[in-house]
Amino acid sequence: MPSFDDYFNFMQIKENFSLKKLNTFGIDVKAKYFAELNSLEEIKEIMQSSYVKEYPFLLLGGGSNILFTKDFEGIVLKINTKGKEITAVDEDFVYLKVQAGENWENFVDYCVMNNWSGIENLALIPGAVGTCPVQNIGAYGVEVKECIEKVEVLNIADGKITEMDNESCQFGYRNSIFKQQAKNKYIILSVSFKLAKKPVLITHYGDILKELEMMMLEPGLATISNAIKNIRRRKLPDPAVTGNAGSFFKNPLVSKEKYEELLKEFPKIRAFPSENNYKLAAGWLIEKSGWKGKSLGNAAVHHKQALVLINKGGATGSEILSLAKAVQHAVLNMFGVELEMEVNLV
């Protein structure tokens, strides 16, 4: 057990700390140790401590894309660094460096308010700025990789701070190097964005135009952002009220041949062209397999959006995982398509 002789001047290490309020599923698990890191100095110091050297560690951002299935027998580190800095401005773009602990929703609102374009379609996605590159978050025709210039990271092995450009991050569909070969090798300290001063509006995806018509408003950064918020609030449960992590599964990619095969049997199947493949609507697959609105213990598939799994109250992570596996099995059995979980399991 780490000695409290190496206790830190900057932070307090808490023992047997409940993570219920720090994950959007509201799963009641405990961390053996927990620390909230509010500065680069604290991050550097904790990474050199016996807590990290002797125990497993977990970096926690907004807790919005994680499913705890058991207590964490190590130290959970919540990155809470704050700050936004304009690093450069030219005729067409503004460049910002944003600390990892900044709230993502608030950052989107900040950019919209300043008429900086690029991430307005990513409104109302819960989480922190530092976790957005990990998942390459996306919604309504936009992925965050399109606006990320570079990511500042601390190498856990040697403590060195470097910057990774967009290409080095190896972004993919809800994926990046930070989820693959670089997993647990870096701490993301900040993300640098390149945002357009002359807005390029993306309104073709989903129900954006229909929502704008209902609002009787012309497309603009603020109106698009508000339209997307309205749509998300109608379709998705509020994590503050009903535990969930948003979209639980990725929309599966299939070949053109597989799509055409499915189209013959299911003429109303929802799909979108994606380069040389087709992206199937996972929510549609789940609904047609009979799981929309169904429960397994205290876990359930949301009655409005089948892509979302919810905690009805008192659910364990294992219950939600069992439900997810049952949904995967049903979709595979009916369509021959594998659903991949978008959330991270712990």
In the chain, where the domains are located: 4-79, 84-196, 243-345
**pLDDT tens readout for residues 224-260:** 898 989 988 888 888 888 999 988 999 999 999 999 9
pLDDT bucket at 41, cuts 50 / 70 / 90: very high
Catalytic residue among 49, 64, 174, 289: 174
Q: Which two tokens stand for residue 171?
A: 């972004």
Note if 174 is an active site residue: yes
Average pLDDT rounded to a whole number, residues 186-208: 89
Catalytic residue among 225, 247, 289, 319: 247
Contacts of 12 (CB under 8 A, 6+ apart): 35
Percent of residues, the chain, with pLDDT higher than 70: 97
Q: Is the pLDDT of residue 5 over 80?
A: no
Q: pTM of the full predicted structure?
A: 0.84
**Spatial separation of the C-alpha atoms in residues 194 and 18, rounded to whole Å:** 37
Note if 213 is an active site residue: no
The two beta strands, 308-311 and 243-247, are antiparallel
The reply to whether CATH 3.90.78.10 applies to domain 243-345 is yes
Report the SS3 class of residue 324.
helix
Q: Is the pLDDT of residue 8 over 70?
A: no
Q: Is the pLDDT of residue 217 over 70?
A: yes
Buried residues in 154-187 as b, exposed as e (16+ CB within 10 A): beeeeeeeeebebeebbbebbbbbbbeebeeebb
Averaged confidence pLDDT in the chain: 90
Note if 3 is an active site residue: no
**Spatial separation of the C-alpha atoms in residues 95 and 90, rounded to whole Å:** 9
Class of the CATH domain delimited by 4-79: alpha beta
**Spatial separation of the C-alpha atoms in residues 7 and 19, rounded to whole Å:** 22
Q: For the packed helices 221-235 and 104-113, what is the interaxial angle rounded to 10 degrees?
A: 150
Class of the CATH domain delimited by 84-196: alpha beta
For every residue of 32-81, DSSP letters joined together read EEEEEE-SHHHHHHHHTSHHHHHS-EEEESSS-SEE--S-EEEEEEEE--
